[in-house]
Amino acid sequence: MKEGPDIARIAALIGDPARANILTALMSGKALTVSELAREAGVTLQTASGHLAKLEQGGLTRILKQGRHKYVSLAGDEVARVLEALMGLAARVGHLRTRTGPRDQALRKARVCYNHLAGDMGTQLYDRFLALGYLGREGEALVLTTAGAALVRDFGIDLDALNRGRAPLCRDCLDWSERRAHLAGSLGRALLTRFENLGWARRDSETRAVHFSVKGEQKFAELVAAAEV
196 Cβ contact list (under 8 Å, min separation 6): 202, 203
Would you say 118 and 173 are in contact if contact means Cβ atoms under 8 Å apart? Answer: yes
pLDDT tens across the length of the chain (229 residues): 566 678 888 999 999 999 999 998 888 777 889 999 999 888 999 999 999 999 999 999 999 887 777 899 998 888 888 888 888 777 777 666 655 444 678 888 999 988 899 999 999 999 999 999 999 999 889 999 999 999 999 999 999 999 998 889 999 888 877 778 899 999 999 999 999 999 999 998 778 899 999 999 999 999 888 644 3
Distance from C-alpha of 106 to C-alpha of 123, rounded to nearest angstrom:
15
Distance from C-alpha of 198 to C-alpha of 215, rounded to nearest angstrom:
11
In this prediction the pTM is 0.71
Q: Does CATH place domain 7-75 in 1.10.10.10?
A: yes
Portions of the chain given CATH number 1.10.10.10: 7-75
Distance from C-alpha of 83 to C-alpha of 7, rounded to nearest angstrom:
14
Would you say 169 and 144 are in contact if contact means Cβ atoms under 8 Å apart? Answer: yes
> Comparing C-alpha atoms, which of 168, 217, 208, 218 is closest to residue 188?
168
